[in-house]
Amino acid sequence: MLRTLTEDERSARASALADAKVREEEERRGGRLMAWWDGDGAARVLARDDRALLLERIAGPRTLAAMVAAGDDDEASRILCAVAGRLHVPRRGPPPELVPLSRWFEALAPAARSQGGLLAEADAAARDLLADPRDTVVLHGDIHHGNVLDAGARGWLAIDPKGLLGERTFDFVNILRNPDAATALAPAADEPAATSAGSAAEGAGCVMSPPPRPAPGVPGWRSKRPPAR
């Protein structure tokens, strides 16, 4: 016997379908970006179509989460920063379609208006930062300890990108909130608890000079960094 869905049930179903559609497009966008990186800093794509992606097998014995658990958070952070830096280097040929950070943060504004508090502060900070990007590059969008794997002789390689475009610091800041809250919030042993995210990033090697400019005519680089004084 069939029954009519309630308004709440219809709304929940519509929301679930919309979320699934967003995730599907996100996976497709990530697959196109993985192919564009062509194995440089990311797992190599062996085959793909619009619905599936076949990657090289990565079976190294080390994990960054285990490295952190063993007390070597700094080294894990350096590895993550090095991988992100490789991914930010411009390639020959235009990248696939990407989502700009301004669109990625769109959902924050209505939540800030309805909830206020910390979300409102976050929205104001995001608007301020997004209004003045410095080094705009292709972003992984989800760099963390579970998305960078030990590929043996090939080094550490990224998987599962979101496919974003924006200020490259976004990828590095994401590292600082992983692999878990206890690690992210713990002060460094030789620094006061009030250490800023910028200082922590610099200590881990995340604050670096801009990625090298491509040869003339090669797309993929746009810098708005002011000249040194």
pLDDT, averaged per 10 consecutive residues of the chain (229 residues), comes to 62 51 76 95 91 89 95 93 95 93 93 92 93 93 96 96 95 88 73 39 49 39 35
Q: Show Cβ contacts of residue 119 under 8 Å, excluding neighbours closer than 6 positions.
A: 108, 111, 112
pTM of the entire structure?
A: 0.74
**What is the model's pLDDT at position 213?**
44
Segments making up each domain of the chain, as ranges: 12-213
pLDDT of residue 48: 85
Sign of CA dihedral 10, 15, 16, 20: positive
CA 104, 106, 110, 112 torsion: positive or negative?
positive
Q: Are 169 and 198 in contact (CB under 8 A)?
A: no
Predicted pLDDT of residue 1: 57
H or E element that contains 214: none
pLDDT for 208 equals 47
- Return the active site residues: 142
Sheet holding 164-167, edge to edge: 99-100, 164-167, 135-139, 222-223
- Residue linked to tokens 């002789």: 153
Name the one residue in this structure whose structure tokens are 């250490």: 195
Architecture of the CATH domain 12-213:
Alpha-Beta Complex (3.90)
Per-residue pLDDT at 36: 95
Q: How many residues does the chain have?
A: 229
Using a 10 angstrom Cβ sphere, with 0-12 exposed, 13-18 middle and 19 or more buried, the burial of residue 86 is: middle
pLDDT at 197: 38
The 10 Å Cβ neighbour count of residue 229 is 3
